[in-house]
Amino acid sequence: MFCVKCGKEEETFRGLCIDCFLDGKQLITLPVHIDLERCANCEEFRINGRWVKETAAAAAEDAAISQMSAIDGMRIITVGAEAEELDERNFHVMADVSGELSDRAVTAAAETIVRIKNNVCRKCSRQLGNYYEATLQIRSGSKELSAELRDETVRYVRERIENISSINRQIFLTKVEEVQGGVDMLLSSISLARSLAKELSDTYGAETKESSKLVGKTAGGSDMYRMTYLVRMPEYHLNDVVIFEDKVHKLSGITKGGGKLTRLGDFNASTVRRSRMTEMKVHTSYDSLMEATVVSRSAGEIQILHPLNYTTVDVRIPDGAEIGDTVNVADIDGTLFFVP
């Protein structure tokens, strides 16, 4: 075959030898201007239909690459781009590629101006509009939810949502409201609220209930509901000293199936089914345990100073217990017990 332009006999590409075809040919093209959406609230950029968090320069480079077109028949091997800031809303971007065309290694470059346009993403629009699908209510089995437990559960929910939203940006916490007896958290997703209620129930041994409220119709005419998930925290908490079946125990663990108990005095381990954990009565919360100074230690026993009257008291300890200068103790009907 021969080139219709120069007459050279060799393999041709669209009737031309590769040299004649490449002569003055623009192998890649970019629009003169590219508009790049930026959310004015979260400052993420929309590229190829996805909102991403990156610097303005990096977003401008990605936007240019996403709009680049190559001539038919060219196989692109590498792509690069470099953005130069003209002002806070405009970037000059130079894109370059390397590739192959009819078995010939080729390179090409093109340039464009990327213009940043502020908008509001769907997530922020919903969040700013107080959109929510479900309410997660945290309450206590006692009269009031303690400030410590309230802060702990809110922190847990915030951290879980932060992790999940890094994968699914439609997940967010709309609002946290302190109410009488506890706290309400308004969430963007029913499935998220249901999952968090179960996690809190498994972690704290809490009771859960759910209810729904009809709030309107979907665009398709189906009923639209808002869900409420109540998580009622028990009076007992991990490491509390509790009374169960007339014996004194430390609540040493909480599982999906129930609780793990360590009996004070002989330190025998036992379990209690989830359905019976409501029978446990808190004798001393973990935060209210007394701290006693250790005077001496012998096999299976330590001698401590009573934290109230400073008399010397012998208390039993479990085998292998690591004893420091002080230990936690509970006063059970006038008798001190070591709490591991």
- Tens-digit pLDDT profile for the chain (340 aa)? 666 667 676 666 666 676 676 676 788 899 999 999 999 999 999 999 999 999 999 999 999 999 999 888 788 899 999 999 999 999 999 999 998 887 778 888 999 999 999 999 999 999 999 999 999 999 987 667 888 889 999 999 999 999 999 889 899 999 999 998 899 999 999 999 999 999 999 888 888 999 999 888 777 788 888 999 999 988 888 899 999 999 999 999 988 888 999 999 899 999 999 888 888 998 998 888 999 999 998 888 889 999 998 899 899 998 888 888 899 999 999 899 999 9
For residue 277, give the DSSP letter.
G
Same domain, 221 and 310: no
152 and 175 housed in the same domain = yes
Are 183 and 277 found together in one domain? Answer: no
What is the span of the domain harbouring residue 156? Answer: 130-233
**Contact at 8 Å (CB) between 248 and 332?**
yes
155 occurs within a structural domain: yes
User: What is the rounded distance in angstroms from the CA atom of residue 273 to the CA atom of residue 165?
Assistant: 35
> Given this model, what pLDDT does residue 80 score?
92
Spatial separation of the C-alpha atoms in residues 247 and 240, rounded to whole Å = 14
Per-residue confidence (pLDDT) for residue 7, from 0 to 100:
63
* Type of residue at 206: A
Residue 12 belongs to a domain: no
The phi and psi torsions of 178 (rounded to 5 degrees) equal: -80, 125
Residues 113, 141 within the same domain: no
Residues 75 and 145 in one domain: no
Q: Which residue carries 């922190």 as its tokens?
A: 155
Q: Are 231 and 265 in contact (CB under 8 A)?
A: no
Residue 7 forms part of a structural domain? no
pLDDT of residue 236: 86
How far, in Å, CA of 232 to CA of 153, rounded?
12
Name the token pair of 257: 């199936």
Which of 166, 199, 233 is the last residue before a domain boundary?
233
Q: Judge if 117 and 184 occupy the same domain.
A: no
Quick one: 43 and 95 in the same domain?
Answer: yes
Q: Is 333 exposed, middle or buried (0-12, 13-18, 19+ CB in 10 A)?
A: exposed
The interaxial angle of helices 147-165 and 190-204, nearest 10 deg, is 130
Do 274 and 316 lie in one domain? The reply is yes
Domain count, the chain: 3
Contact 262, 252 (CB under 8 A): yes
Which among 321, 256, 319 has a CA at the least distance from the CA of 294?
321
Residue 273 and residue 224 share a domain: no
In a domain, 9, yes or no: no
